[in-house]
Amino acid sequence: QTPPGADAAPRPSGRAALSAMKRATTFMTSKVAYRGGYVWAYLPDFSRSWGEMEARRTMMWVQPPGTATMGHAFLDAFHATGDEQFWRAAVVATRALMAAQHPAGGWNYIHDFAGEASLKEWYATIGANGWRLEEFQHYYGNATFGDAGTAEASQLVLRMHLERLSDEFRPALERAIAFVLDSQYPVGGWPQRFPADTSFYTRHITFNDDVAGEN
């Protein structure tokens, strides 16, 4: 709010605001994104980047506020303006998530476009040194419900499918829905990770990170 006695700053016109949004989107899609994916923070020269932990340039973060968060923002901008640039940006972000989707239908916290060997090496070096971040200290090779990564990615794929009923997004959406249903315990809860692995903790029903509410 403007302090008492101060002149209110002039609000930008609709045309100026749209122009600024379009410039920002061009920057994000052409300079920041890697194959359509995003992490959380970048140095100005892109020499280093971070999600919840330091990330490599070939990585994207699924865990919010990551790639799906950007996709939702682009889709919201498209709804507000009708400008196709924002729709195209949302499509590219969604395609990045589809490339990262686990065969079972969910998502891991992160994805490395350099391949599974590169991701395993990240877990063995950077992830293994994550104090308090136990989820990053071991490579499970499955998907997680933690921190709404699978939920937010699924919600974006759903929105994109409903926007134009494109067959492009339907297979990923159906796999995501099947993942939520297949992983649910008979009593109604969900584990931290699925498909099941040897970790005793990740098999337990999880209330942390609003898993039940998001699902």
**pLDDT digits 0-9 by tens, 178-202:** 999 999 999 999 999 999 887 778 8
Of the listed ranges 15-19, 132-136, 149-153, the least confidently predicted one is 132-136
How far is residue 86's CA from residue 193's CA, in Å, rounded to a whole number?
33
CA dihedral 54, 59, 61, 67 (to 10 degrees): 140
pLDDT of 1: 55
Question: Residue 86: what residue type?
Answer: F
Kindly state the average pLDDT of the residues 8-26: 87
Residue 73 pLDDT > 90: yes
- Tell me how many degrees the CA angle 175-177-179 measures, rounded to the nearest 5: 70
Closest-CA residue to 126 (of 137, 115, 112, 117): 137
The answer to whether the CB of 102 falls within 8 A of the CB of 110 is no
Beta bridge partners of 41: 50
The answer to whether the CB of 179 falls within 8 A of the CB of 110 is no
